[in-house]
Amino acid sequence: MSSGRYRVEYSRPAERQFRALPAEAQRRIAPRVNALADAPRPRGTEKLEGGEDLYRLRVGDYRILYQIRGQVLLILVVRVAHRREEYRR
């Protein structure tokens, strides 16, 4: 396992989803997402089944889906959604 710090980026859709959230939700989510740079698989994170290598981070009623790209030390946030919206997909 690599000991370097990961870079955290948002996909365009995820960035739009994040910016559309209420300010309070953004304040709660941002530190948790930024902490992925040091610990890409924190306690409570779940690897989702399927071929996309997605992980889910829960922050209150919100779900953050992200990919870990270990070769380039990148965390790519691909979706930010309220749980009621996430489970409608």
Q: What CATH number has the domain spanning 7-86?
A: 3.30.2310.20
pLDDT digits (tens, 9 = 90+) for 21-35: 999 999 999 999 999
Q: Which residues lie closer than 8 Å to 44 by C-beta, 6 or more apart?
A: 57, 58
Buried-state track 40-49, b at ≥16 Cβ within 10 A, e below 16: beeeebeeee
Residue pair 80/62 in contact (Cβ under 8 Å)? The answer is yes
pLDDT digits (tens, 9 = 90+) for 40-76: 999 989 999 886 789 999 999 999 999 999 889 999 9
Q: Write down the pLDDT at residue 1.
A: 43
The predicted model scores a pTM of 0.87
Residue-range domain boundaries for the chain: 7-86
